[in-house]
Amino acid sequence: MLSERTNEHDTVAALDVEADVYVGKPYSVRELLARVKAVIRRRMPQLAGDAVEIGGLLLDPAARLVRAGDREIDLWTTEFRLLHIFMTHAGCTFSRTRLIDEIWGPDAFDEERIVDVHIRRLRQGLAPTGHDLLIETVRGFGYCFRREHQKDGGLEQQPPHEEAGSARRRGTGAQLSAAAIARLQQE
């Protein structure tokens, strides 16, 4: 929030109504831009353009590069965008509808199974390096990109899953709780 008011009461009131940053006049344009970039990195990491590495898989959106160790992985544009969303939200469970909204936009089309086709292609691209196992199917709902850590030389999933934004089904606007996602996984 940018304001000419600089007293503590106004700053606290703005932060209490969910402003991420409060900048009073006079302000430095460089500082303002730095604060905006920091908020974008924190709130929407997929827009920041920073390289992301998970489980030995590196994604650099600025160079449009995916690499596992010294091996470069060639992906189509849609699969690259899916991987970018997954890696910047590792551990979050995405519904097919949410992925359609993120990749193609909310007014694109209603065929949710197209996501399955692109997930299959993404898994095929990652399979030679074993990173296809990072993409987990949440039966009856969507997909999750696992966060992993080393334990006794092996890879182990790091729970719990978090919801990704408004994990909604088209037309209902329903939110799924972590418990509901766990129940879906057990079915």
Average pLDDT over residues 19-37: 75
The domain segmentation of the chain, as residue ranges, is 2-43, 74-186
Q: Is the separation of the CB atoms in 112 and 156 below 8 Å?
A: no
pLDDT tens across 68-105, in order?
988 999 999 999 999 999 998 889 999 998 898 888 87
Position 105 scores a pLDDT of: 79
> Cis (ω within 30 of 0) for the bond into 160?
yes
Q: What CATH code is assigned to 74-186?
A: 1.10.10.10
Higher-pLDDT residue of 11 and 55 is 55
Higher-pLDDT residue of 163 and 86 is 86
Interaxial angle between packed helices 77-88 and 113-126, expressed in degrees from 0 to 180 and rounded to the nearest 10 = 90
Position 10 scores a pLDDT of: 77
pLDDT averaged over the chain?
Answer: 75
Residue 141: which of 187, 83, 179, 181 has the closest Cα? Answer: 181
C-alpha neighbours within 13 Å on the C-beta side of residue 62: 6
